Chains A and B, each alone.
Chain A
């Protein structure tokens, strides 16, 4: 049976018909063609599919689409409105935190949520925050570095404001 759902993604409201067993990840990729959110494990163990659900990071491969009815989703595609990169995206590029890029969307979304609650994290906290995000390429060091410098930039921006 298909359910009629209203989901707001990156500020835009969508009406979708989805069967009960379909995941948010499937709906994002297959129905809304938002291919920036990726699947690596499909079972909640790698963080590649991380999106923000009402501001909270979730593994979208574990969330059923029906449970997202009426809620707000933010994906990697929402981070750079009109092509202006978010500071976290800029830092990931500048610090060399991206290699193959397959884990990157999930890493950046995780970092965004983490930095919102931890404006000046130490290294151990950053590593803890991305512990659930798998990356096979980088050894994590540049990613940790990018999140650290993002934190500095974001809190600097807040102080300026």
Chain B
């Protein structure tokens, strides 16, 4: 391995100083002269026809500048289906569906005006459970979906029937996973400004400004170049701030256009819990066949996901999860059937791993059951079946780098699996889970592309502007991209200035989703930097009257390989090259489309978790003592940042495992939309987390890198569930594993 100056080193965040001093600016910090405030009027009913909306009393209130309803928002939008309008037109489909909006001089006036809008509803029968929604005679939520099915998907390879016939042991279980909130610290918010009548700038707390801009342009009937989306720093995303999937994204521009003034709006904290497209609830049925030696012969997954009132991302992610489960183990007989169902609940989306954590929970928890049933070691069972480098998997994807077995071995070793298993202690348990996640994604039904862009420009002072299509929502994207650029260009890290989150000044790309920034964003940066370096060396060769091949760049200089003391500062070369007759600037760009290898993603990251915990049989309370997490991330460009991703992922995984859940009443109103009642783990709840970085060196990823952020969460709930069984003999098959659930299971036994 060559010795790198930056790649592979734990570099502190390049924006650390901005953030540590409170100087980083987020969309929520913005205000403009003459700016108005706006908010939505939301439906109190889960399913109702809108008979009439009377806004006259609101219009009359001094300070109110615009009141709009569904009649004023003619466009529709959506991801899997175009089934949403910014404001409901004929009927509402969930409690909280937006029906009207007000822009006014301050929030007090906005609230008062909203309370003066009178909506006449005719209530309709509603349905809140996917199984009921699928049943004949259920209320129909969308006209074009008579059976309330928003989407179906299917992956099939070989024959599961044959696999079950050949197996020595076949079992089938049903699992349920909860609705979980992203809990972005910065809630969804935006600020719309029109320049002329046909040029919109939307400041949007967003992971994906380019695609957000495309969706808005389409909805407003504008050329996409006329919709500029700007993100600033982003206070967390976790999959919720993708595309333009929220009423405010459209309503703020409409109100701004009407009033001729900038309009700011955003979710309150309570709204953010429930209206930012939480992780939807899943019902997952898994049937697995196994040989006596533990070889899996085949698996059949049936998944029912609850979209809520609109499809949004849910059909797409339900499908993608099927692609992923087919990559984890070597069995070839595979059937995955997903059904995404409309109900009269607020709509869901994708949360850190697009539901893969949930599907893994089912598959892996069942594997733990199988191990217990057959008297096999759950770690060995997994290693025995684990996908390896070079495998062609059941979904057709060829895996070009895979450290799954190594991850399993390492977590078992680190937690003391063998020793502790040999010497069990009362009420203590060990559990393991593992998983796979994609690096980048080609969503079924969307363009067959998965690209990022990068643009590099040398400045006169030898510094570099690096513009990227990726958005740094917190994981350290700008740091990692700076490391890659500095490494390739031979400049100091401090000389790289990263520009992101502005569709007008950054290259086009899919933005931040699917654990793709380091690998796909990084590859674009690497290629742009390689080309820029070539230009730089050529320019230096002219100045030094030598051949470019005799030169190298490093430490901010270009020098002769044979005599490193002879050379020039990069700044000198840049100016020499620019300020002369027929001069040139050193500027390059790259659009890198990740190769698909015939599958959804160019690479897959793998990982494993081992958990030790203690169950209090008197209360059902689970205390996690330690989590060991190993991630195959190809290559850790920045180990410090990668460890931070793993710790954050495990933290969210523990939340999913043990307590976090959006609780709804019988009408679909959230019962615990505040921090106290929602109970995300606090610093005191989180056990020590030991992270292990496994480097399988992907042949395509930049310096061998793959993704990490989502894989970091996957496997945690499964390992916890396995450890709970190990501690007290109870399988909990529906998340979260609360003390009440466990206690009642213990009492019933």
With A43-B269, A101-B235 as known contacts, state yes or no: A89 contacts B647, CB within 8 Å: no
Whether A100 lies near B686 (C-beta < 8 A) is no
Whether A89 lies near B12 (C-beta < 8 A) is no
How far apart sit A37 and B29, CA to CA, in the bound complex (Å)? 10
B234 interface residue (CB < 8 Å to A): yes
A144 interface residue (CB < 8 Å to B): yes
Q: Chain A, 112-153, contact with B by CB distance < 8 Å: what is the 0/1 string?
A: 000000000000001110111111111111111000000000
Q: Chain B, 683-700, contact with A by CB distance < 8 Å: what is the 0/1 string?
A: 110101100000000000
Nearest-neighbor residue (CB-CB) of A42 within chain B:
B269
With A46-B675, A100-B235, A102-B26 as known contacts, state yes or no: A139 contacts B19, CB within 8 Å: no
Whether A139 lies near B29 (C-beta < 8 A) is no
A105 interface residue (CB < 8 Å to B): yes
Q: Which residues 421-462 of B sit at the A interface, judged by CB distance below 8 A?
A: none
Whether B236 lies near A102 (C-beta < 8 A) is yes
With A45-B675, A142-B644 as known contacts, state yes or no: A98 contacts B269, CB within 8 Å: no
A85 interface residue (CB < 8 Å to B): yes
Q: Which residues 1-46 of B sit at the A interface, judged by CB distance below 8 A?
A: 10, 12-13, 15-26, 28-29
B75 interface residue (CB < 8 Å to A): no
B473 interface residue (CB < 8 Å to A): yes
A31 interface residue (CB < 8 Å to B): no
Whether A94 lies near B12 (C-beta < 8 A) is yes
Nearest-neighbor residue (CB-CB) of A126 within chain B:
B683
How far apart sit A46 and B18, CA to CA, in the bound complex (Å)? 21
Q: Which residues 34-92 of A sit at the B interface, judged by CB distance below 8 A?
A: 34-38, 40-43, 45-46, 48, 75-77, 79-80, 85, 89-90, 92
Chain A residue contacts of B652, Cβ below 8 A: 136
Nearest Cβ on chain B to A86's Cβ, whole angstroms? 9
Q: Which residues 355-404 of B sit at the A interface, judged by CB distance below 8 A?
A: none
Listed stretches B91-99, B182-190, B336-344, B741-749; interface member: B182-190
Q: List 29 A-B contacts (CB under 8 A).
A: A36-B22, A36-B23, A41-B269, A42-B268, A43-B674, A45-B675, A75-B22, A76-B21, A93-B12, A93-B16, A96-B644, A99-B475, A99-B644, A100-B185, A100-B186, A101-B15, A101-B24, A127-B684, A128-B683, A128-B684, A133-B683, A136-B184, A136-B238, A136-B680, A137-B475, A138-B644, A139-B647, A141-B689, A144-B683
Binding site for A on B (CB under 8 A): 10, 12-13, 15-26, 28-29, 182-186, 233-236, 238, 268-269, 473-476, 640-641, 643-644, 647-652, 674-676, 680, 682-684, 686, 688-689
Binding site for B on A (CB under 8 A): 34-38, 40-43, 45-46, 48, 75-77, 79-80, 85, 89-90, 92-94, 96, 98-105, 108, 126-128, 130-144
Q: 9 closest A-B pairs (Cβ-Cβ)?
A: A36-B22, A100-B474, A101-B19, A139-B651, A93-B16, A102-B235, A102-B185, A139-B647, A45-B675
- New A-B contacts (20) at CB < 8 Å, excluding given A132-B682, A134-B680, A136-B185: A48-B185, A75-B22, A89-B21, A90-B20, A94-B12, A96-B10, A98-B13, A99-B474, A100-B234, A100-B235, A101-B15, A102-B26, A102-B186, A127-B686, A128-B684, A134-B675, A135-B185, A136-B184, A137-B236, A139-B647
